[in-house]
A and B are shown apart, each in its own frame.
Chain A
């Protein structure tokens, strides 16, 4: 560091010049580097940064498309979009908050809780993000706000669309409902539309399965905004494409009628065109109101629905599985004919039959005497079918039963369908590693035991018997080809149809279903599915009437029918959970008769319903409101439970439905598990009278 050499002024000057020159070179190099860097950013990377600058500047807001309608076979809307009026506040434009809120509270009759909520939202609001004041306003309220708008700076009234189901609960299980997408749905697709406020998608039923067709494509609103979100200018707006309308085979008038006619029952009704397979009504009652689900349901309502023993959250048509009971007898008779049994071949019914160590009883305690096939159907004689099943074995029945639609899967746009069981020896070996017994055949012969079917399959069965064609149920309107004929002797089918005609019109068990329309006859078959075991001791003292039993232990009541009997056009099934044939007006023959009457003579059907409904506590809406009020009174809920919306979803595919159905059928299954000696009774026919 220390250098001894003499450094002159001249040499220092030279050193300075050299170093200053170096410094200048360095500075110039930095200058060139900076210019080059700028050139790289502004020219080479210009496209990239222009894009970033644009995405900064332009705020793209998706506009949810108008959802397509669901309409019935005649074009009547089942699900449409109702204009919904709402009022928001833009916090940044609000001048006198207290005065504006006071005016709004007066115009919209806001509660103190609502005002408190708005106050909290306004305190937390970020500038230009609107704060909702109220939605679902009526026109008068909306107009009042608009009239006072000059004195309400910052208040923004707007119109949106809300999904609307004019028929309410009557179509709940058919259409499902719409709701806000879940966080999981967004995570799965990362579709921008899913996080647009106010966007709703199908959550259940047809709304869910037809979602792609109903949704449409969103429009986009391009706004120039500042970094803080202030709107500078509206740029071009790209319009969206509304979703397409979907036409169903449903007759919404019939659908509503059937829902009302089921009354206070927990049950289902399916009506089909038995020539084409078009489903005219598909009703499961009670149901939730899809309108209130679309708006977001309160905890209170959700709890009420999920605790109801009438399972309003389950679509019983496709998810409910029941022992079909005696409704399978016409089909079994067809199997007998196909197996070579003559219609005149008779059995003597004494009221019971001993097979091995067990005794099997007929529903007629003292027996039917001599019964041939037609009488066996008309009187629903159990012994006839016990004896025939004992002779032939159920393996001869099962293939025919499957051809008639049981255990079959149908290609319908409904989620969570369950398809039941048609047992045979191979099935039992597969599932229980046990040999098929004669008792199994006897139980199955009257639609009990292992046999399970859903109400839709029973309707298909009735339709196939009625038309002799392999009809497939369909829900979406479209070109209908005539389905192929079933491979059965038409003469055999005629015998079966005559038997079903006799059920109603020939002194059979379904006399109550006789149509009041001159010249038109209904053919039907009644059924009862027992859900409890009747002990020998009880039988000795007289079997308990269903009316004396708790709801859950009452028998299921079933009914299949078609009309007109001589030239079938419509087929239907009615299944009442724990209906128990207790009240005539609410029993299956009457329900089936009136639903069919609606198709043939609408005014007569409506008149008879008008006489009945007041006894049940009014129409569906009135009864649901009364039930909700009673529940609310019983629960004494907190205000929060009432106000807070839950994002609850009807458990279509969840185990909850499985549990509900399994609970409903568990007793029936338990009966069978006890093996031979079980006293199966198909107690059939006329309605018990309440004493």
Chain B
């Protein structure tokens, strides 16, 4: 069945082309949206985003050749390094007297919290891989995992970066759930959050974070302040209608009414010009990518591979779901970009790295290669 294209080298033919095509489609559509967001120009966004996208995608495909055991071996050391990096960021921030999220390594600016999103998945998967299965439902299967999640989440929270902290926490909790931690703990956890959330709102959050949540609950209370983002985003999506206002014809984005139109609110930029049809198609493509990733998890052999694949799928899911909920006014503005579409390298890199790991797992657990 694979043999039809005989001239294609075996490693290339073995690539999961269907998902690569879907990722390419999402990425290229993102470039089109960024082109429009810049008023019909590849600068300043589409061009650099495109170069990065193809570079990261290539890197991602190369990563798919990395054997699973390397991921397994590197999971905990990588986690440890990132925790150290988070501490370093925190200390640098203290020294420079402001909040800081990145480390300047000379060549690149490394944002450890971003890489922590896949790293927490790998680390927890590795933890449950090491843990004897019988221990999973015991105390010794829970507190180390909770600690692994809690330390980086707390450090990120200190930055402060509520959105990333939530994603790290949620990603970790999903791994615990999939690893077989008793269900009643999650039920209790949900109840605990329900109790703790109002308290956190009152005492733990920064003023601007609290404001964002309060304004999310009542956006009209501050239409020109913090609520402006949500209001304008809803106007852009709502005025797009079924088919949109047409390419390059979105007034909300073209006339600067939509803030952050190329980053966090890029979905609103897209929806205004492409309408419900564009939006649903984009959601569908993301859904297919995530379903493929969940399928990889289902096919994978071994706890590490299974948990890693499902966890990375969930990470991508959280990116998409939180961002879309945010731009449609269903969640507070927490600063989570739409992967592969929003302008910016960090999320792009994280997601394509995750895809690379997923493809790597896929390659080694597939009975029939290729499509």
Beta-carbon nearest neighbor of B137 in chain A: A3
Question: In chain B, residues 157-196, which have Cβ atoms closer than 8 Å to a Cβ of chain A?
Answer: 174, 177-180, 182, 185
Hey, what's the 0/1 contact readout for B288-313 against A, CB within 8 Å counting as 1? 00110010011000010011001000
Q: What is the CB-to-nearest-CB distance from A35 to chain B, in angstroms, rounded to a whole number? A: 5
> Is A50 close to B, CB under 8 A?
yes
> Is B155 close to A, CB under 8 A?
no
Q: Which of A7, A27, A31, A49 contacts B136 (CB 8 A)?
A: A7
Interface majority SS (helix, strand, loop, mixed), chain B: helix
> Is A628 close to B, CB under 8 A?
no
Q: What is the CB-to-nearest-CB distance from A683 to chain B, in angstroms, rounded to a whole number? A: 73
Q: Are A41 and B234 in contact (CB under 8 A)?
A: yes
Hey, what's the 0/1 contact readout for B125-158 against A, CB within 8 Å counting as 1? 0000000011011110010000000000000000
Q: What is the CB-to-nearest-CB distance from A12 to chain B, in angstroms, rounded to a whole number? A: 5
> Is B280 close to A, CB under 8 A?
yes
Q: Are A49 and B239 in contact (CB under 8 A)?
A: yes
With A and B bound together, what is the CA distance between A27 and B324 in angstroms? 13
Q: A24-B294, A30-B321, A52-B239 are in contact. Are A227 and B255 (CB under 8 A)?
A: yes
With A and B bound together, what is the CA distance between A19 and B297 in angstroms? 12
Q: Which of A19, A43, A56, A227 contacts B241 (CB 8 A)?
A: A43
Q: Are B174 and A23 in contact (CB under 8 A)?
A: yes
**Cβ contacts under 8 Å, B227 to chain A:** none
With A and B bound together, what is the CA distance between A224 and B252 in angstroms? 12
> Is A427 close to B, CB under 8 A?
no
With A and B bound together, what is the CA distance between A50 and B294 in angstroms? 38
With A and B bound together, what is the CA distance between A23 and B177 in angstroms? 9
Q: Are A34 and B136 in contact (CB under 8 A)?
A: no
**Cβ contacts under 8 Å, A57 to chain B:** 251-252, 255, 257
Q: What is the CB-to-nearest-CB distance from B82 to chain A, in angstroms, rounded to a whole number? A: 25
Q: Are A27 and B317 in contact (CB under 8 A)?
A: yes
> Is A226 close to B, CB under 8 A?
yes
**Cβ contacts under 8 Å, B287 to chain A:** 27-28, 31
Q: Are B178 and A7 in contact (CB under 8 A)?
A: no
**Cβ contacts under 8 Å, A224 to chain B:** 251, 255
Q: Are A42 and B240 in contact (CB under 8 A)?
A: yes
Q: A12-B180, A42-B238 are in contact. Are A23 and B294 (CB under 8 A)?
A: yes
> Is B330 close to A, CB under 8 A?
yes
Q: Which of B185, B256, B306, B328 contacts A16 (CB 8 A)?
A: B306
Instruction: State how many residues of chain B have any CB contact under 8 Å with chain A.
Output: 53
**Cβ contacts under 8 Å, B237 to chain A:** 38, 41-42, 49
Q: What is the CB-to-nearest-CB distance from B332 to chain A, in angstroms, rounded to a whole number? A: 15
Q: A34-B324, A38-B279, A232-B255 are in contact. Are A49 and B234 (CB under 8 A)?
A: yes
With A and B bound together, what is the CA distance between A9 and B133 in angstroms? 7
Residue among A9, A12, A15, A20 with max Cβ neighbours from chain B (10 Å): A20
With A and B bound together, what is the CA distance between A38 and B240 in angstroms? 10
Size bracket of the A interface: 35 or more
Hey, what's the 0/1 contact readout for A31-51 against B, CB within 8 Å counting as 1? 100110111011101101110
> Is A17 close to B, CB under 8 A?
yes
Q: What is the CB-to-nearest-CB distance from B93 to chain A, in angstroms, rounded to a whole number? A: 32
Q: Which of A24, A39, A53 contacts B276 (CB 8 A)?
A: A39
With A and B bound together, what is the CA distance between A373 and B332 in angstroms? 97
Hey, what's the 0/1 contact readout for A267-303 against B, CB within 8 Å counting as 1? 0000000000000000000000000000000000000
Q: Are A34 and B328 in contact (CB under 8 A)?
A: yes
> Is B78 close to A, CB under 8 A?
no
**Cβ contacts under 8 Å, A189 to chain B:** none
> Is B242 close to A, CB under 8 A?
yes
> Is B314 close to A, CB under 8 A?
yes
Q: A19-B177, A28-B287 are in contact. Are A53 and B306 (CB under 8 A)?
A: no
Q: Are B251 and A24 in contact (CB under 8 A)?
A: no
**Cβ contacts under 8 Å, A23 to chain B:** 174, 177-178, 294, 310, 314
Residue among A24, A45, A226 with max Cβ neighbours from chain B (10 Å): A24
Residue among A9, A15, A42, A49 with max Cβ neighbours from chain B (10 Å): A42
> Is B236 close to A, CB under 8 A?
yes
**Cβ contacts under 8 Å, A7 to chain B:** 133-134, 136-137, 180
Q: A19-B180, A49-B239, A56-B257 are in contact. Are A42 and B252 (CB under 8 A)?
A: no
With A and B bound together, what is the CA distance between A20 and B295 in angstroms? 10
Q: A23-B314, A38-B280, A227-B256 are in contact. Are A46 and B238 (CB under 8 A)?
A: yes
> Is A354 close to B, CB under 8 A?
no
Q: A1-B137, A20-B298, A35-B283 are in contact. Are A50 and B314 (CB under 8 A)?
A: no
**Cβ contacts under 8 Å, B179 to chain A:** 16
Hey, what's the 0/1 contact readout for B236-267 against A, CB within 8 Å counting as 1? 11111110000000011001110000000000
> Is B339 close to A, CB under 8 A?
no
Q: A34-B324, A57-B251 are in contact. Are A24 and B291 (CB under 8 A)?
A: yes
Binding site for B on A (CB under 8 A): 1-3, 6-9, 12, 15-17, 19-20, 23-24, 27-28, 30-31, 34-35, 37-39, 41-43, 45-46, 48-50, 52-54, 56-57, 224-228, 232
Pick the 10 closest A-B CB pairs, nearest first. Answer: A49-B238, A53-B239, A227-B256, A41-B238, A42-B276, A226-B255, A49-B239, A57-B251, A50-B239, A46-B241
